[in-house]
Chain A
């Protein structure tokens, strides 16, 4: 459809002399568009300044011990009741690291397998609807994941995995809201993002590479894992880093399923450490949304926010560099085969 076809016979209304007014109008429009662009691109700087600035009071009163000591639950009560300014967020840092790493491991294993099935094995008429479902899963609100986690996953863990003997021997709390529940829920929240990127990366590998593998007598599975996957590894890594950034920042679902205690799982409990509660940085912020009139709690919330901000920004920049390198490599590869 050509939108200007009908105007071809009569002189079109927009063809005017390049008068001064017209040129000024053009320049004005361009300036306005530039203004919007500068605003959009610099918003992140304003966000950064205001979040980090809020964290200064608590960092100056506690120094480095803010990041190296714990005791969150008691400190929160003391701040609320006595106006104490003493805080340590080590438990929250460990909680964030454990949930994110745990979910990343599961995402890498399950998500990679799913991506291989979608690209290397499934015909388009099967892979396309599955990819739609994956996009849909990525769009589910986090509170929905949290609700399913707290109403279905946690009770299941409590019923099936937590026995009376376990409670006597290891656990100090018996609800199913624990590290394991948090990891399971977070896995399916970040996996859709990873699978989308992994699928795109595997698809970007030139088909000639696969054909060359088959010509050498390599079975399909070996072509997929020894030829295609290594070639796409940078893209897959970019997807994993992106998923990590999402995991670090997930607040609501983690507040709902990770348990009500800031607690570092005991290494001595072995695998049962997964059944102990944790608290993440983002969950620590969300839970204290009501207490933001207390200056100490507010400032420690900013400290948690700053930490999340720095980590997720670092991860997204890393992801960008890795994926730029990957695209360059894929261009080179397709030039080489053509």
Chain B
């Protein structure tokens, strides 16, 4: 380190030392201000659209904004994606997290390969996953996921199921990372105590480690749900470009569920894109309404995560 000490305390240096921290505070304030601006702006612009009618009626393709209907099917689409995506991501994520933290030898070459693979997967943007879904799930063997295409040698490739599978792969590395951290943070004494009791390894994992890591594992799941609810690119490319459900007219009835999840649809994100000035719909008030709902979902999930983190910290201190 060069230039230590006081010899450089010219008036300019003194000026910098006074002004620079103020600018730094300004930058931090700017970040906070942008966050609040986005929430307040969406609330203010989306509020006129919010009504029971808006939430409970299906969207309609119309040029006049007052005739474009509500966002019932996009809300349904987001719920379907949340449920399917979570169900699909949790088993492989928990299994991988357990294997990485409890079974794998840390310094072997294949451990490094697995970690690199997960890290690279985490770096792939969602739009590339969307393209992957388009390539992979149009293979004829996947016809049962989305129905046949016009060309009978291909599958159609757009459906909630396809989108949920692609989404699960997309969020897998993020969920694994949080879960692995949670499992690793279980105190070593628990493992030693279990081993001293003669517990087989799997029983120890199931009965002691997983319950103790519960809040952390939950954090991983919630984080994944936030990613699912917020993604647009995978939905647009893999779930489809419609604003209503293409499966069955009464999509909410249990006997139509299979048709619904193998059919196309929209979520709140693709509906927002469609209704904004950038999409075909051009109904900005509706876009703001849907975006506001999205932000509410993100906020609720975030509050939940912060609460879980605080609880984890409290239990760590109690140990």
Partners in one complex: yes
The chain A residues found within 8 Å of chain B, CB to CB, are: 2-4, 12, 14-16, 18, 22, 25-26, 29-30, 32-47, 50-51, 53-54, 110-111, 113-114, 116-118, 121-122, 130, 132-137, 139-148, 150-152, 188, 191-192, 195, 213, 216-222, 225-227, 230, 245-246, 248-252, 255-256, 282, 285-286, 289-290, 292-293, 298, 301-302, 305, 308-309, 312-313, 315-317, 319-320
Set A4, A51, A249: member contacting B197, Cβ < 8 A: A4
Q: Which residues of B contact A130 (CB under 8 A)?
A: 28, 31-32
What are 10 sample pairs from A and B whose C-beta atoms fall under 8 A apart? A41-B96, A47-B169, A134-B31, A137-B34, A137-B38, A140-B38, A145-B38, A256-B277, A286-B127, A313-B124
B116–A36 contact, CB under 8 A?
no
Q: Which residues of B contact A289 (CB under 8 A)?
A: 130, 236-237, 241
A136–B299 contact, CB under 8 A?
yes
Q: Which residues of A contact B130 (CB under 8 A)?
A: 285, 289
A146–B276 contact, CB under 8 A?
yes
Give the shortest distance, in Å, between A222 (CB) and chain B (any CB).
7
Given A143-B269, A151-B276, A312-B123, residue A136 in contact with residue B31 (CB < 8 A): no
Give the shortest distance, in Å, between A239 (CB) and chain B (any CB).
14
A136–B127 contact, CB under 8 A?
no
Given A36-B95, A47-B132, A117-B24, residue A256 in contact with residue B208 (CB < 8 A): no
A139–B202 contact, CB under 8 A?
no
A36–B28 contact, CB under 8 A?
no
In whole angstroms, what is the CA distance A305 to B134 when docked?
Answer: 12
A217–B5 contact, CB under 8 A?
yes
Greatest chain B CB density within 10 A among A16, A139, A188, A250 is at A139
A150–B294 contact, CB under 8 A?
no
A14–B232 contact, CB under 8 A?
no
Given A3-B211, A248-B125, A312-B123, residue A136 in contact with residue B1 (CB < 8 A): no
Set B114, B169, B278, B287: member contacting A37, Cβ < 8 A: B114
Q: Mark B79-111, 1 if CB is under 8 A from A, else 0.
A: 000000000000111011011100110000000
Closest B residue to A113 by CB, please name it: B27
In whole angstroms, what is the CA distance A134 to B103 when docked?
Answer: 35
A132–B306 contact, CB under 8 A?
yes
**B140 at interface by CB-CB < 8 Å:** no
The chain B residues found within 8 Å of chain A, CB to CB, are: 1, 3-6, 9, 16-17, 20-21, 23-28, 30-32, 34-35, 37-38, 41-42, 45, 91-93, 95-96, 98-100, 103-104, 113-132, 134-136, 150, 169, 172-173, 176, 193-194, 197-203, 207-208, 211-212, 226, 229-233, 236-237, 241, 269-270, 272-273, 276-278, 284, 287-288, 291, 294-295, 298-299, 301-302, 306
Closest A residue to B211 by CB, please name it: A3
In whole angstroms, what is the CA distance A41 to B169 when docked?
Answer: 10
Give the shortest distance, in Å, between B222 (CB) and chain A (any CB).
10
A51–B117 contact, CB under 8 A?
no
A26–B236 contact, CB under 8 A?
no
A316–B122 contact, CB under 8 A?
yes
A26–B201 contact, CB under 8 A?
yes
The 10 residue pairs across chains A and B that have the minimum distance between CB atoms: A249-B125, A316-B123, A141-B230, A36-B95, A41-B117, A113-B27, A117-B24, A305-B131, A251-B127, A33-B99
A25–B202 contact, CB under 8 A?
yes
A-B contacts besides A146-B273, A256-B273, A256-B277, 12 pairs, CB < 8 Å: A30-B103, A33-B99, A40-B96, A51-B128, A111-B27, A118-B28, A122-B28, A133-B31, A143-B291, A147-B272, A286-B127, A301-B134
